[in-house]
Amino acid sequence: MNIKACITVTLKNGVLDPQGQAIRQALNSLDFPGIGSVRQGKVFDITLEDTSEPDAEKLLQDMCEKLLANTVIEDYTVRIIR
């Protein structure tokens, strides 16, 4: 079975996000009102072939730990789509 998954990697709370701050300033200078905070993260859409849902979930967690996220400063969530 082919599995589609979506992995979201975001900075942990408290970790400085200069990219997000730059975006907030840019939005302010475009006159968007009332912007509290902006944090930027990454999203990965991954297709896995010939696997089952529990296997895929384990594999994707493993990918995050080893490559996709820096777990010292980033959190990740894995969501299986189908």
Report the interface residues with a second copy, using CB under 8 A.
Answer: 2, 8, 10, 20, 23, 26-27, 30, 32-51, 59, 62-63, 66-68
Q: Smallest distance, Å, CB 54 to a second copy?
A: 14
Residue 46's CB is within 10 A of a number of other CB atoms, namely: 16
Cβ proximity to a second copy, 37 vs 72, nearer residue = 37
Per-residue tokens: 64: 């995050």
Shortest spacing between CB 34 and a second copy, in angstroms: 4
Output 42 or 53, the one with its CB closest to a second copy: 42
Distance CA 8, CA 46 (A): 11
Do residues 40 and 20 touch, judged by C-beta distance below 8 A? yes
Q: How many CA atoms lie within 13 A of 14 on its CB side?
A: 3
CB of 46 to a second copy, least distance (A): 5
